[in-house]
Amino acid sequence: MANHKSALKRNRQNLVRRARNRANKTKIKNVIKAVDAAIAENSVETAQAALKIAIPTIMRVASKGTIHQKTASRKVSRLTRRVNAFVSQSAA
């Protein structure tokens, strides 16, 4: 355990930041699961709506520094490709 005043403060800050980062990462997982669930139930409109919610959520978390910007871009790109492939497959 920390003994110095600055180390105690740093420990408190780390606990708050860890809780915030965990909440944000869970939020990302949940929006990705929502997109996957919409694809699984063969609902084009729901998948596109879930994607519209997922993209800003992922990018917002990246802007806060919880995940890297390129990680967020990769997740958005893969989700978008998955939804677009599903929409084009459903249209055919």
CA atoms within 13 A on the CB side of 54: 29
Which pLDDT band holds residue 72 (cuts at 50, 70, 90)? very high
Q: For residues 49 and 72, what is the distance between their CA atoms, to the nearest angstrom?
A: 19
At 87, phi and psi to the nearest 5? -65, -45
Domain assignments of the chain as residue spans, ordered by start: 5-91
Is this prediction's pTM over 0.85? yes
| CATH topology assigned to domain 5-91 | Methane Monooxygenase Hydroxylase; Chain G, domain 1 (1.20.58)
CB proximity list for 57: less than 8 A, separation 6 or greater: 27, 28, 31
Which pLDDT band holds residue 50 (cuts at 50, 70, 90)? very high
Q: 90 vs 63, which has greater pLDDT? A: 63
Is the pLDDT confidence value at 36 over 90? yes
